[in-house]
Amino acid sequence: MGSVGPGTRGCTTDPDGGDGSVNCLTDNATVYYYMDSSGAFELETPDRNAVKSTMSSEYAPTQLVIHYHTNPVFSGRGETDIVYQEGSKNLSENSLGVTWCNDGSDPDLAKFECDQQYVRIRGNGVYDTSIACHETGHAVGLVHGANASPSKGNEDPKLGCMIRTGWNNDLGANNVTNINAVY
């Protein structure tokens, strides 16, 4: 099938990666996102531009309907789907970014859906379109090649920006096809 899919376990809820789970899908095809604009996890202008570029050039052309949420919702029904942050808290020494589900326990959600996900990417020039594309991919259910079905090498060019290492700004036709099939 490709690289969209939740696998066999529940959503990643621990930003440290300690729960051993997988990333999950947003809860529907209409994706509202927000970029932290103050405090410890604020995105500076270049980082905000990387996210905006990724959302408009890579994800908006898919079946996903992308909207920026100027008034984010952090609790209850209709939470903002993806919250982007900058910072190294909860990132291992070798990790550039992490995606986790903040609200996957809602009984109305399917097993591998998440109402609100956080994307945190290391700062100091690391926040670019390739990393934003990669971590957003996790938020919409894309996985690394070894976790894909059928399994692919982690550096398979069909994975686009979902390759495990190296930098690729392009979502890739395979991932677009998989997103469109799921949403």
The pLDDT tens digits of the residues spanning 70-119 come to: 999 998 878 999 999 998 887 878 888 888 888 655 556 666 788 889 99
pLDDT reported for residue 8:
35
The answer to whether 93 and 10 are in contact (CB under 8 A) is no
Instruction: For residue 25, give the amino acid letter.
Output: L
Q: Angle at the Cα of 173 (from 172 to 179), degrees rounded to 5?
A: 95
Q: Which two tokens stand for residue 162?
A: 């979902």
Q: Percent of the chain at pLDDT above 90?
A: 43
User: Residue 100: what are its φ and ψ, rounded to 5°?
Assistant: -145, 155
Asked if 79 and 69 touch (Cβ cutoff 8 Å), the reply is no
pLDDT tens track for 127-151: 889 999 999 999 998 888 888 777 8
